[in-house]
Structure 1
Amino acid sequence: MHLSKVAQWVENSVKNAVAPVTGMGDNVDKVDLPKAYAVTDSKHAVGVFPPALQPHLGDEFKSYDGQVGYFNPQGGWAEAKNATLSMLNEARRMGAEVVSNARVTSLVYAEPKYDQTKPKVIGVKTADGRTFLADRVVLAAGCWTSSLLDQLKLSLPRSVLKATAHCVLTLKLNPEVAQKFKGAPVTFNMYSGFYTFEPNADGILKCAIHGTGSLDFDPANYPGTDFPNVATEKQLKHMIAELRSQYPILQLEGPNKNAEIHFTRMCWYSDSVDENFLIDFFPGVDGLLVASGDSGHGFKSGTDELVPDFGLSSHQRRVFSFAHHLEMNDPANPNRTSMDSIRIGEEAPNPESYLESDAIKAKM
């Protein structure tokens, strides 16, 4: 990504971060929270990290010449797995019935009426022969959305939603070094797409690359609930090189070893071309709401608040619509964009300067 584009991204991000939140009602307590700001030099960059970690930062933060960035003290991270489990348990507590092992194979349509202009979906059938009827069917199948729609004979142009696979790496840190990271911010390299989280309570540090991903994997071939371990030597070397450029304190081998590879896993995206969600009723069909297009940021928005009542703003209704996504994929559209043009990611630092390939192989 060109520097001028990154600089504009930083400027817009700071503006968005300091803008007042709207639509929350008049009863919300007005709290003077710390504001986001642009990071312009190495002193600012190092200063956002906990004091115990500052002496151990790499050149990516200490050598700031020619870089641009911003820090948002209101930002952070959440434990997506535990949050999702909590929501699931709350739904059950409120009376929702959760049915497991129910692989949908077809839709159930209402008998056509004389004045009916399009078919109406009233339920689904599963592989074991069960039928579930509903006033409205919400299809929120993540990366499986496109292939499931194909199976249900409601195909979309493949470019509207594209399943991509991304490698996630986690390290288990020794307690002493993990303590130095306590309070560390989420980091995101806008050139490589590499991002990291503060280690959790168990000392597990997670990192990944938000990029164009891989198209070599078909989610239809991974129907289970396990997370496939598909990291290649190249991917591991790439990510560890990125991690070491930020945190050279992390030693994966030798007498000063203080961390080890915990696991790798595949993270699926359902990518839309401009990274907007797709939340709309399927064209030409009544009763079927599609909610997909997470594009790697599905957890952050509280989509549970958007989908049940289709509670979108006028802007969201436009950019989350089928019409918008089909338009963005129209070759004749002069404003058509490419995922590759908005996703970031350049070559990683030379990994040979950090780890020998044999050491990587031993971890796989």
Structure 2
Amino acid sequence: MASNDLSQKILIVGAGCFGISTAYHLLKRGYSSITVLDRSATLPAPDAASTDINRMVRSSYSDPFYSKLCHEAIESWRDQSEWPDVYRESGVLMGGAGYDPYTEAAYRTDLAMGARVRDLPDRAAIQAVLPPGVRTGLFRGYISRDGGWVDAAKATTTMTSKVIRMGGQVHAGKSVCSLVRNGGKTHGIECADGTVFLADLVIIATGSWTASNFPDLRLEEKCVAAGQSVVTIQLTAEESERYHGCPCMVNYKTGFYIFPPNKDNILKMGKHCGGHVNPVHISEGHRTISVPRTASSHGDDGLRIPKSMLQEIRALLAMTFPELAHRAFASTRLCWYTDTPDEDWIIGFYPGDEGLVIATGGSGHAYKFLPVIGRLTADLISGTLEPPLRKKFAVDRAFVPHEKTRSPSVMEVLDVSVLCSADDLVANRAFLASRPSRL
């Protein structure tokens, strides 16, 4: 039940994007008893989606709500006093290999919002927004200068420090094993080490671990853990200097996205698609729940991606930056999203339980909103969240299909027998030689 009682004890499970931003915004409003727990002994959690060298910041959405909210987030990211050395406004090139319905709608939304966009109708126009000496095979798209990327791990650390300075309690290494409930209402949580934390309100913000950590809530069809394949290339200092001025690039027709190199000369890329699920059987009701398979649970083996994805990413890199197509990959990672059926977030009270809020379901597009996303949960708790947004993000809403970024894609079951090995990452000149020139 929503309440503006600033003295109520609020317990947040999960110190990632949703959780730590919610803590910040509650403290900012004067709530005086905010405690954040996280399973990881090291914060930010090394295997969380919130922890990475970069995350894209794009205002290009088909849904005006997200576009407007992103512009608010960008204004915050630009404030160096609040986010020192975190945000890089490189611009974002949308499309590149032809438009899809989502990108066309995003372009119209950007124009309506007054974003600094420019149509790139052909290869020459795209080439003109790239640094001299960087060749591309892309041929159609548009660029938005309102956006770029953030150092995700650094930004999460920065916000965690803000929460602690404001009086919030943050406890690492606290793996939650169950909710403490009485009469159908949640009153706290019990940790694996036997510690019990009682609260007036519990907020679950555990990302892709939500459904598997709390199987009694039956969220496996609403919060699906899906692994997305990511790879990196280690550039030389000279190469990094050449590619440094590139915008972020994302194409929803092919699924390929790529960042400019970071300060360590690392070039990160991946394929935004349906992803891979890791179904695990649970005894209750003969159900299966997708559970993240990461370096924390499986060591280096948890970082490997399917060979087929490695090959697809290399082929898409060849179209984007052919000069780099043969290069060895330095690392791989399955980045685990919390996907909802409609790609809208879940921010709402759990049905029938006025002591429990669910705040998750990022669906691969929440991190850019870190400075502002917790405001929505704070509005929900204080009773000021607008009715259309309560409906949009409700736990028990009807998940109505709409134009999604990954609508053509389907999720696949992760087959650990066909994951890539170190030998698959090596330089591949044979691949380059086999590709017909498109330039």
Using the size of structure 1 for normalisation, the TM-score is 0.75
Per the alignment, residue 24 of structure 1 pairs with none
Kindly report which structure 2 residues correspond to 1:220-231, keeping only aligned pairs within 5 A, or say none: 222=294, 224=296, 228-231=302-305
2:365 counterpart of 1:297? yes
Distance 2:118 2:230 in 1: 29
Per the alignment, residue 376 of structure 2 pairs with 306
Per the alignment, residue 200 of structure 2 pairs with 135
2:288 counterpart of 1:193? no
Distance 1:316 1:147 in 2: 26
Higher radius of gyration, 1 or 2: 1
* Counterpart code for 2:360: S
Q: Please state how far the C-alpha of 1:319 moved relative to its aligned partner.
A: 1.3
Q: Deviations over 1:59-83 (max 9, x none)?
A: 2x2xx3xxx5221111211111110
Distance 1:344 1:37 in 2: 28
Q: Please state how far the C-alpha of 1:287 moved relative to its aligned partner.
A: 1.1
Q: Is the 8 A contact 1:212 1:339 kept in 2?
A: no
Q: Is the 8 A contact 1:161 1:293 kept in 2?
A: yes
2:319 counterpart of 1:245? yes
Q: 1:341 to 1:18 in 2, by over 3 A?
A: closer
Q: Deviations over 1:303-339 (max 9, x none)?
A: 2222233264443222111232xx22xxxxxx55697
Q: 1:137 to 1:340 in 2, by over 3 A?
A: same
Q: Is the 8 A contact 1:124 1:132 kept in 2?
A: yes
Q: Is the 8 A contact 2:272 2:406 kept in 1?
A: no
Q: 1:7 to 1:232 in 2, by over 3 A?
A: closer
Q: 1:36 to 1:194 in 2, by over 3 A?
A: same
Q: Deviations over 1:226-280 (max 9, x none)?
A: 772122332222211211221112264xxxxxx5422111100111111000110
Q: Which runs of 5+ in 2 are unaligned?
A: 1-97, 280-289, 411-420, 429-439
Q: Please state how far the C-alpha of 1:6 moved relative to its aligned partner.
A: 4.3
Q: 2:335 aligns with which of 260, 267, 271?
A: 267
Q: Please state how far the C-alpha of 1:293 moved relative to its aligned partner.
A: 1.0
Describe the SS at the equivalent of 2:172: coil
The structure with more strand, counted as a fraction of residues: 2
Q: 1:154 aligns with which of 217, 222, 226?
A: 217
Percent identity of the aligned residues?
30
Q: Deviations over 1:187-230 (max 9, x none)?
A: 11222101000000111000011100012464266593877212
2:340 counterpart of 1:278? no
Per the alignment, residue 162 of structure 2 pairs with 90
Q: Is the 8 A contact 1:277 1:292 kept in 2?
A: yes
Using the size of structure 2 for normalisation, the TM-score is 0.63
Q: Is the 8 A contact 1:212 1:340 kept in 2?
A: no
Describe the SS at the equivalent of 2:276: coil
Kindly report which structure 2 residues correspond to 1:40-79, keeping only aligned pairs within 5 A, or say none: 40-53=121-134, 56-57=135-136, 59=137, 61=138, 64=139, 68-79=140-151
2:275 counterpart of 1:213? yes
Distance 2:123 2:426 in 1: 36
Q: Is the 8 A contact 2:207 2:337 kept in 1?
A: yes
Distance 2:277 2:153 in 1: 25
Q: Which runs of 5+ in 1 are unaligned?
A: 21-32, 113-118, 253-258, 329-334, 346-356
Describe the SS at the equivalent of 2:197: strand
Distance 2:368 2:272 in 1: 15
Q: 1:245 to 1:102 in 2, by over 3 A?
A: same
2:232 counterpart of 1:232? no
* Counterpart code for 1:239: I
Larger RCO: 1 or 2 (CA < 8 Å, sep 6+): 2
Q: Please state how far the C-alpha of 1:361 moved relative to its aligned partner.
A: 5.7
Distance 1:123 1:194 in 2: 42
* Counterpart code for 1:155: R
* Counterpart code for 2:107: V
Tell me the matched-pair count. Answer: 304
Q: Is the 8 A contact 2:314 2:325 kept in 1?
A: no
Distance 2:320 2:118 in 1: 21
Q: Is the 8 A contact 1:283 1:322 kept in 2?
A: yes
Per the alignment, residue 18 of structure 1 pairs with 111
Per the alignment, residue 390 of structure 2 pairs with 317
Q: Is the 8 A contact 2:234 2:266 kept in 1?
A: yes
Describe the SS at the equivalent of 1:76: strand
Per the alignment, residue 351 of structure 1 pairs with none
Q: Deviations over 1:94-117 (max 9, x none)?
A: 22211112111121235x5xxxxx
Q: 1:121 to 1:267 in 2, by over 3 A?
A: same
